[in-house]
A and B are shown apart, each in its own frame.
Chain A
Amino acid sequence: MRNMTLIDAIREAMDEEMARDERVFITGEDVGQRGGVFRATMGLFDKYGPTRIIDSPLAELSIVAIGIGAAMADLRPICEIQFADFIHPAMNQIMNEAAKMYYRSNGTWNVPMTIRAPYGGGIGGALYHSQSLEAYFTHCPGLKVVIPSTPHDAKGLLKSAVRDPNPVLYFEPKKGYRAIKGDVPDGEYMVPIGPVNITHTGSDVTVYAYGMMAHYCLQAAEMVKQQDGISTEVVDVRTLLPVDRDGILNSFKKTGKALIVYEDNFTMGYGAEIAAVLADDGFEYMDGPIRRLAGPDVPGVPFSHPVQEEFMPSPQKIADAIRDLAAY
């Protein structure tokens, strides 16, 4: 067991998959000698060379489209979008092409491709280096959407993504790249794409979150435990699509109260689907309103520091929301 950062775990997953399977290659902007702007591919260029770590032209749709073609030709591309905010030019290729390929070819062509994209705010990135875009893609059957929150899951889920026969969009909480550290087992292991993970057990309130917010929720759970004696269960959603409806419902059966936390804009965010699952299938367990805590409905995270900080759900705000719900 080793203690490592989120980004080191991501890099180790790619390194292992490239060593295991010569069909795996990486392309994206600055992924080569520069090792990526966040250093996710640092050292891989020296190890695997320019034919497997390929600096792409500065054109995101082509990164994805080349990946789609290469995947259909039985390679295993890992496509890096430098910031999730820059993925929009590639949306036609992701949503109309990669996601629909298996269905539209009646199950004959498939696209075993991974798209990595750092996402989320709190790093001074303002409107175009802070976005959380998961809700666009979780509305798109044919994609898998994964957001890890721990180094353990980041490594195991990324390895699963590379081996998945479908296109997997893998969003990385970039604020946590170096801030999040955790234990990673020695040797090979996988984390399956699909099931949610309970990271903190409790009985009064269930909190659902993913990415950076999953950490803030753990901190909030400790705060309300020590200060108020409230027992919080934290569900780290991890795989957003396909939706683990049973996993989401199971914790709610125990607590009857749900808080859903995400840093994307409030309206039509991913939390709306979790709320709908609970409302549809969990009515008989319901013991209070299903609450969402999310970013405000403004177009992006503003640059100015105090405004940015207020945009993001914080452990303190989450703790307050848990208290409200527990008292309901």
Chain B
Amino acid sequence: MTNHAPAEITAFVTASGSRPSDSLSDDTLRDMYWMMLLSRRLDERAWILHRQGRIAFHISGMGHEACQVGAGFAINRGVDYVHPYYRDLALVLTVGFPPEGFMLSLLGKAGEPSSGARQMPSHFSAKWLNILSHSSPVATQVPQAAGLAFAIQYKISHGLQDPHDDTQPRLALTCLGEGSTSQGEWHEGMNWAGVHKLPFICLVQNNIYAISVPVERQMAVNDVADRAAAYGVEGLVVDGNDILACYDVMSYARDKAYAGDGATLIEAKTYRPVPHSSDDDDRSYRTRDEVEQWKKKDPISRFQKVLLDRGVLTQNAINDLEAKAKSVVDSAQHAAEDAPYPDVEPNLDPRSVYAPGDFA
């Protein structure tokens, strides 16, 4: 097994020499920390519930919280389109997805917001937040997200949307893993984004492994970001475990998209410290030593240290947030446990398959 140790990545700085994260308020920084923490604690609870035999399946976003929360805070949350993938728990929570919705999905209970418990857990969707519904085959969301971005550009060019109206989506953000960039769908979506200079951001969360297959068996280039050149799209590499660096690069890509200056591919280098899913055993394909090296780069403890050093957080405040997270996770779990299962009949009724004629 090849060792995939973490590498140092220089932080992104804009042409003017500034970092967009420098202007984040202390309140916002605390909110960002809170979203990372909440996502982590929900994720951990899901693993526990699985090990207790109370849920059938969990697919984790652990370790990816920095790039996801950084991305979420950089866009117009709940308005800009987000076409996520199954590791995007922290991203969708940041956009406004309810924690109990996640717990309902784990348990397959009525009221599950993404799919009415038709899809597996972590297949997120929330139309009221402009979070698109995605499937399990990877990269399918990418060319669709290019279609969303195309629609934004189309509406603006035809006077159907004011380009500065922040009640309307002004960019499409889509996410996937590095392995998924091997799919033709990814390439075809990137190509449209390049040809039409779409307001499109593709965030590749490179955690080195596609289940067991390491990145060097996935592509012959060193960085996924290198692939952007083939489509005339700017490709940027960022330390995916450094939330402020992720926020910086996402803010740059957002400004570009809003200004009509085209698409950006962001490769966030990160790591999944847990198996691919609750059905995976990662001991067969990577060393414990490697996992331990990456755990030292944990995005939440790193950000906590930054905030403590800056005086934005105190140990007491951290303890309070921990207690709050436990309370939110507990009540989400209990609400989901108390919820009924969905009625069988409407879910197996062929009439539920088609939108009615007067559908908006």
Contact = CB atoms under 8 A, between A and B. Distances in A.
A73 B191 contact: no
Contact of B116 (A59, A69, A106, A141): A106
Contacts of B81: 73
A165 B118 contact: no
A45 B112 CA distance: 45
A51 B154 contact: yes
A173 interface: no
Nearest to A109: B133
B143 A93 contact: yes
A205 interface: no
B140 A141 contact: no
Contacts of A103: 118, 352-353
A72 B354 contact: no
Contacts of A142: 353-354
A168 B259 CA distance: 35
A135 interface: no
Nearest to B116: A106
Contacts of B195: 57
Interface size band for A: 35 or more
Interface in A74-130: 74-75, 89, 92-93, 96-97, 100-110, 112
Nearest to A163: B357
Contacts of A57: 188, 191-192, 195
Contacts of B169: 73
A33 B58 CA distance: 51
Contact of B192 (A23, A62, A73, A165): A62
Interface in B22-53: none
A216 to B, nearest CB: 31
A105 B115 contact: yes
Given A57-B195, A73-B152, A106-B118, A65 B146 contact: yes
Contacts of A319: none
Contacts of B189: 62, 65
7 contacts: A61-B188, A65-B140, A72-B144, A110-B359, A112-B359, A165-B354, A165-B356
Given A69-B145, A104-B123, A112-B355, 6 more contacts: A51-B158, A69-B143, A69-B144, A73-B155, A100-B135, A109-B132
Top 6 nearest A-B pairs (CB, nearest first) are A69-B147, A65-B143, A73-B151, A106-B116, A62-B188, A165-B359
